[in-house]
Amino acid sequence: MQVKWTRKALDNLDSAVEYIAADKPTAAEGVARKILNAAEMLADQPGMGRPGRVTGTRELIISGPPYILPYIEKEGVIYILRVLHTSMKWP
């Protein structure tokens, strides 16, 4: 299965990495790598996330850096919708 990122999710990822990099550039690279690697695991295990708070979505919990990746599966493609810090109130 293919994993695609929405523009909003990529913007969220960029913002998170920039924020962390302001103080800890090396840590920012590690966080980005961890998030990207976790998302790629969905290609082989699309059901690994928990049922989402928004109907029809699932949420991949990233261990280590506190992030959640809401995603949907549509026509054989996984779409990463957002990259959210666990401290954020949403939806």
Token couple for 51: 């049922």
Domains of the chain are 2-85 (3.30.2310.20)
Please determine, for residue 39, whether its predicted confidence score (pLDDT) is greater than 90: yes
> Residue 89: CB partners within 8 Å, gap ≥ 6?
none
The tens digit of pLDDT for each residue in 42-64 reads: 999 999 999 999 999 999 999 88
The tens digit of pLDDT for each residue in 56-86 reads: 999 999 988 999 999 999 999 999 999 999 9
Can you say whether the dihedral through the CA atoms of 35, 43, 79, 57 is positive or negative? negative
Q: Three-state DSSP class for 74?
A: strand
pTM, two decimals, is 0.93
**How far is 24 from 17, CA to CA, in rounded Å?**
10
